[in-house]
Copies of this chain bind each other. A is one copy, B any other.
């Protein structure tokens, strides 16, 4: 498991409260590792217990109290350990693909709106990434920025691939739209 490590890296980049992390996981890091706030609070509590991070309570004047976490020495060495340890690629799980195979046994045309929805979402993400790219990663980059940019580039490639694939799939289904659904028995 690795939400732990995603949070540690996030906290190395910037000490934060659970809430801040949760919002960061709706953008930025969250594009490559999503998590809900409940999950985040749970893992933060566990990591504080384990001594990887320490939380400092800050009484807010004009804002609610918040607990600012930062990575301890033990947490840093845990990150180093984890970096050195090999990881296998995550298994893919994509329900659209399953649906497309399932479409052979139903109304394939019914999937077109779904595909168009996905195309729109991926197009939006791609645009968002392009904006970030232009804003944060033009000109010369220091080491940290260069690495972050490389991560962003994988996102760009990914969304672009999806976009093209969606177009193809939509065209395919349009071609088959009039065909009767395949039936195996009566």
Contacts and interface: CB of A to CB of B under 8 A. Distances in A.
Contacts of A57: none
A89 B31 CA distance: 12
Interface string A103-127: 1111110110110011001100000
A131 B31 CA distance: 32
Contact of A98 (B5, B97, B107): B5
A10 to B, nearest CB: 8
B94 A79 contact: no
Contact-residue size bin, chain A (C-beta under 8 Å from the other chain)? 35 or more
| Chief secondary structure at chain A's binding surface | helix
A118 B95 contact: no
Given A80-B107, A154-B161, 17 more contacts: A2-B93, A2-B98, A5-B98, A9-B101, A9-B102, A31-B92, A34-B92, A87-B114, A89-B94, A89-B96, A89-B122, A90-B93, A90-B94, A100-B150, A150-B169, A153-B165, A157-B161
10 contacts: A2-B98, A5-B99, A12-B105, A83-B107, A87-B99, A89-B94, A101-B151, A143-B182, A153-B165, A158-B161
Interface of A: 2, 5-6, 8-9, 12-13, 29, 31-34, 76, 79-80, 82-84, 86-108, 110-111, 113-114, 117-118, 121-122, 143-144, 146-148, 150-151, 153-154, 157-158, 161-162, 164-165, 168-169, 172, 176, 179, 182, 184
